[in-house]
Amino acid sequence: MRRFDYHEPTTLEEASRLMTTLGEGAFLLAGGTDLFVEIRERLRSMSHLINIKRVPGLDRIDWSEAEGLRFGALVTAGQLEASPHVAARYPNLQTAMRALASIQVRNRATVIGNICRASPSADSIPPLIADGASSECPGADKAQIAMRVGAGLFCCTVRASEVIV
Protein backbone atom coordinates (compact mmCIF):
# COMPACT_ATOMS: atom_id res chain seq x y z
CA MET A 1 0.00 0.00 0.00
CA ARG A 2 1.30 3.44 -0.92
CA ARG A 3 1.56 6.24 1.61
CA PHE A 4 -1.26 8.76 1.83
CA ASP A 5 -2.29 11.69 4.02
CA TYR A 6 -5.12 11.10 6.45
CA HIS A 7 -7.77 13.74 7.25
CA GLU A 8 -10.64 13.72 9.77
CA PRO A 9 -13.02 16.61 9.13
CA THR A 10 -15.67 17.33 11.74
CA THR A 11 -18.11 19.21 9.48
CA LEU A 12 -19.57 18.66 6.02
CA GLU A 13 -18.15 22.00 4.95
CA GLU A 14 -14.65 20.90 5.93
CA ALA A 15 -15.05 17.55 4.12
CA SER A 16 -16.27 19.32 0.98
CA ARG A 17 -13.42 21.83 1.14
CA LEU A 18 -10.87 19.01 1.50
CA MET A 19 -12.34 17.14 -1.47
CA THR A 20 -12.19 20.31 -3.56
CA THR A 21 -8.70 21.44 -2.62
CA LEU A 22 -7.01 18.04 -2.51
CA GLY A 23 -8.29 17.02 -5.93
CA GLU A 24 -8.35 13.75 -7.81
CA GLY A 25 -6.30 11.64 -5.38
CA ALA A 26 -8.64 12.36 -2.44
CA PHE A 27 -11.26 9.81 -1.38
CA LEU A 28 -13.91 9.76 1.32
CA LEU A 29 -13.96 6.96 3.88
CA ALA A 30 -17.28 5.92 5.36
CA GLY A 31 -17.38 2.10 5.41
CA GLY A 32 -14.38 1.39 3.20
CA THR A 33 -15.31 -2.14 2.17
CA ASP A 34 -14.57 -1.55 -1.53
CA LEU A 35 -12.12 1.32 -1.09
CA PHE A 36 -9.56 -0.63 0.94
CA VAL A 37 -9.64 -3.58 -1.46
CA GLU A 38 -9.06 -1.25 -4.41
CA ILE A 39 -6.17 0.48 -2.65
CA ARG A 40 -4.56 -2.80 -1.60
CA GLU A 41 -4.91 -4.23 -5.12
CA ARG A 42 -3.55 -0.95 -6.57
CA LEU A 43 -6.72 -0.38 -8.56
CA ARG A 44 -7.08 3.09 -7.07
CA SER A 45 -4.33 5.65 -6.69
CA MET A 46 -4.90 7.61 -3.51
CA SER A 47 -2.93 10.46 -2.00
CA HIS A 48 -5.49 11.61 0.60
CA LEU A 49 -8.01 9.68 2.71
CA ILE A 50 -10.80 11.78 4.20
CA ASN A 51 -12.53 9.95 7.04
CA ILE A 52 -16.02 11.39 7.54
CA LYS A 53 -16.87 9.30 10.62
CA ARG A 54 -16.48 12.30 12.94
CA VAL A 55 -19.04 14.42 11.09
CA PRO A 56 -22.09 14.53 13.38
CA GLY A 57 -25.46 13.28 12.16
CA LEU A 58 -24.27 11.14 9.26
CA ASP A 59 -25.07 7.97 11.21
CA ARG A 60 -28.77 8.78 11.71
CA ILE A 61 -31.82 6.93 10.47
CA ASP A 62 -35.04 8.95 10.68
CA TRP A 63 -38.58 8.46 9.45
CA SER A 64 -41.46 10.90 9.31
CA GLU A 65 -44.80 10.92 7.55
CA ALA A 66 -43.84 14.12 5.73
CA GLU A 67 -40.35 13.16 4.53
CA GLY A 68 -40.32 9.38 4.66
CA LEU A 69 -37.07 7.55 5.37
CA ARG A 70 -33.88 9.60 5.70
CA PHE A 71 -30.50 8.13 6.48
CA GLY A 72 -27.00 9.51 6.56
CA ALA A 73 -23.85 8.61 4.65
CA LEU A 74 -22.48 6.52 7.54
CA VAL A 75 -25.54 4.26 7.88
CA THR A 76 -24.61 0.67 7.14
CA ALA A 77 -26.60 -1.94 5.27
CA GLY A 78 -26.91 -3.84 8.55
CA GLN A 79 -28.46 -0.84 10.29
CA LEU A 80 -31.07 -0.42 7.54
CA GLU A 81 -31.76 -4.15 7.58
CA ALA A 82 -32.49 -3.96 11.34
CA SER A 83 -34.43 -0.68 11.23
CA PRO A 84 -38.09 -1.01 12.26
CA HIS A 85 -38.90 1.90 9.90
CA VAL A 86 -37.47 -0.03 6.95
CA ALA A 87 -39.17 -3.28 8.01
CA ALA A 88 -42.58 -1.60 8.31
CA ARG A 89 -42.51 0.60 5.22
CA TYR A 90 -39.77 -0.52 2.82
CA PRO A 91 -39.77 -4.34 2.72
CA ASN A 92 -37.93 -4.52 -0.62
CA LEU A 93 -35.09 -2.42 0.78
CA GLN A 94 -34.90 -4.61 3.88
CA THR A 95 -34.77 -7.74 1.70
CA ALA A 96 -32.01 -6.23 -0.42
CA MET A 97 -29.99 -5.28 2.66
CA ARG A 98 -30.42 -8.77 4.08
CA ALA A 99 -29.11 -10.27 0.81
CA LEU A 100 -26.08 -7.98 0.60
CA ALA A 101 -22.86 -9.96 1.13
CA SER A 102 -22.11 -11.40 4.58
CA ILE A 103 -23.21 -10.05 7.94
CA GLN A 104 -19.68 -8.77 8.52
CA VAL A 105 -19.78 -6.74 5.31
CA ARG A 106 -23.34 -5.50 5.98
CA ASN A 107 -22.22 -4.18 9.35
CA ARG A 108 -19.36 -2.23 7.75
CA ALA A 109 -20.56 -1.28 4.25
CA THR A 110 -22.50 1.96 3.98
CA VAL A 111 -25.58 2.20 1.81
CA ILE A 112 -24.40 5.50 0.28
CA GLY A 113 -21.06 3.85 -0.52
CA ASN A 114 -22.93 1.01 -2.18
CA ILE A 115 -24.81 3.54 -4.30
CA CYS A 116 -21.78 5.66 -5.19
CA ARG A 117 -19.72 2.60 -6.11
CA ALA A 118 -22.27 1.91 -8.88
CA SER A 119 -21.30 -1.75 -9.04
CA PRO A 120 -23.53 -4.16 -10.96
CA SER A 121 -24.03 -5.87 -7.60
CA ALA A 122 -25.14 -2.69 -5.81
CA ASP A 123 -28.05 -4.35 -4.05
CA SER A 124 -29.41 -1.12 -2.57
CA ILE A 125 -30.02 0.69 -5.85
CA PRO A 126 -33.08 -1.15 -7.31
CA PRO A 127 -35.33 -0.86 -4.22
CA LEU A 128 -34.27 2.75 -3.65
CA ILE A 129 -35.13 3.64 -7.25
CA ALA A 130 -38.42 1.73 -7.00
CA ASP A 131 -39.33 3.68 -3.86
CA GLY A 132 -38.49 7.02 -5.51
CA ALA A 133 -35.43 7.77 -3.37
CA SER A 134 -33.24 10.80 -3.91
CA SER A 135 -29.95 11.85 -2.40
CA GLU A 136 -29.09 15.09 -0.69
CA CYS A 137 -25.89 16.99 -1.13
CA PRO A 138 -25.38 20.37 0.55
CA GLY A 139 -25.04 23.10 -2.06
CA ALA A 140 -26.41 20.99 -4.92
CA ASP A 141 -29.86 20.36 -6.32
CA LYS A 142 -31.34 17.21 -4.73
CA ALA A 143 -33.00 15.91 -7.90
CA GLN A 144 -29.87 16.61 -9.91
CA ILE A 145 -27.76 14.47 -7.59
CA ALA A 146 -30.30 11.63 -7.71
CA MET A 147 -30.10 11.68 -11.50
CA ARG A 148 -26.29 11.81 -11.63
CA VAL A 149 -25.31 9.16 -9.08
CA GLY A 150 -25.99 6.12 -11.27
CA ALA A 151 -24.15 7.22 -14.41
CA GLY A 152 -23.02 3.76 -15.43
CA LEU A 153 -20.96 0.76 -14.45
CA PHE A 154 -18.55 1.73 -11.62
CA CYS A 155 -19.21 5.36 -12.54
CA CYS A 156 -20.44 7.96 -10.10
CA THR A 157 -20.57 11.57 -11.22
CA VAL A 158 -20.73 13.18 -7.81
CA ARG A 159 -18.42 16.16 -8.08
CA ALA A 160 -15.26 16.51 -5.98
CA SER A 161 -16.80 19.14 -3.72
CA GLU A 162 -20.01 17.14 -3.15
CA VAL A 163 -20.51 14.94 -0.12
CA ILE A 164 -23.73 12.93 -0.22
CA VAL A 165 -25.34 13.02 3.20
> Helices (DSSP H) in 12-159: which residue ranges?
12-22, 33-40, 77-82, 84-89, 91-99, 103-106, 111-117, 125-130, 142-149
pLDDT digits (tens, 9 = 90+) for 66-81: 999 999 999 999 999 9
pLDDT digits (tens, 9 = 90+) for 18-42: 999 999 999 999 999 999 999 999 9
Angstrom distance (rounded) from CA 61 to CA 71 = 4
pLDDT > 90: what percent of the chain?
60
In angstroms, how far is CA 41 from the centroid of its own chain? 21
